[in-house]
Amino acid sequence: MAVQFLFPEGKRKALTFSYDDAQIHDRRLVSLFNEKGIKATFHLNSGTLGQPGFIASGEVEQLYEKHEVACHGVTHPFFNQLSLTQTVREVYEDRRALEKYSGKIVQGMSYPYGEYNDRLIQASLNAGIVYSRSIEPTMHFDLPADFMHWHPTWHHDQVTETMLEDFLTQPAYRNMSLLYIWGHSYEFERDGTWDHIEKICDRLQGQKDVWYATNLEIYEYVTAMRSLVISVEGDLVYNPSAVTLCLCDGEQVISLHPGERRKVGQ
């Protein structure tokens, strides 16, 4: 095949963050991300909103305006202990409430305590969830093979300056590298490590070859990329998706718009 995939605007790297539980320390973290031009996904438990130590439901739309709101179960349950009915309710009702509070369509999730099973995955898909994050670190920058088993690169506590340099200096032949950092904002307050996430953001901000995206944006782009229709000879491509894709055709970076067909490799 003559062409290679790239992230939007011809970028070869992507960065996404993910934070769970919607405790009040999200306010400071969101402010930091906004200041640094970094995008994140915040996984909320709708049943805990407004309780002591948690943000209020009325804050959701404005607080996370520049980011993504996603599910985390109504009550942050141990899903492996639930019946099928309870499982369905935890996901479906969380999505319903968060869409009301955020004013956005909610399609993402992360697994509370990292617990998941086939029943939960099927119930989530039936409820309109398209991806869900675990807590198992991959320690690499590969794209997920299955978005319902989306494993992050590292928890923020594991991130070192060397790791960030490894990501930022990935060789061009790798073509598409994804760094996914996750955690809980309360950990910075509890452990006195706000300086750690600030240093991470300082190092990663403003990189010209990095696409700053939410979890859902990563999912939508990669899914569209994988749906690209290519001729047997590899000289004709068709984009059936609603997403503009970026390709490298030899040394030329091209945009393939929704519904567009074009010759490549000439």
Per-residue confidence (pLDDT) for residue 1, from 0 to 100: 52
Domain ranges of the chain: 12-224
Closest C-alpha among 18, 1, 10 to residue 144: 18
In angstroms, the CA 196 to CA 26 distance is: 15
Give the three-state DSSP class for 209.
coil
Give the three-state DSSP class for 58.
helix
Give the three-state DSSP class for 245.
strand
Q: Can you name the CATH fold of 12-224? A: TIM Barrel (3.20.20)
13 close to 41: Cβ distance less than 8 angstroms: no
**Helix residue spans in the chain (DSSP H):** 26-36, 60-63, 84-102, 118-126, 161-168, 185-191, 194-204, 215-226
Q: How far is CA 241 from the centre of its chain?
A: 19
Per-residue confidence (pLDDT) for residue 174, from 0 to 100: 77
37 close to 61: Cβ distance less than 8 angstroms: no
Q: For strand 229-230 and strand 252-256, is the pairing parallel, antiparallel, or unpaired?
A: unpaired
Per-residue confidence (pLDDT) for residue 144, from 0 to 100: 97
pLDDT 10s digit of each residue in the chain, 266 long? 567 899 999 999 999 999 999 999 999 999 999 999 999 999 999 999 999 999 999 999 999 999 999 999 999 999 999 999 999 999 999 999 999 999 999 999 999 999 999 999 999 999 999 999 999 999 999 999 999 999 999 999 999 999 999 999 988 777 899 999 999 999 999 999 999 999 999 999 999 999 999 999 999 999 999 999 999 988 999 999 999 999 998 888 999 999 999 999 86
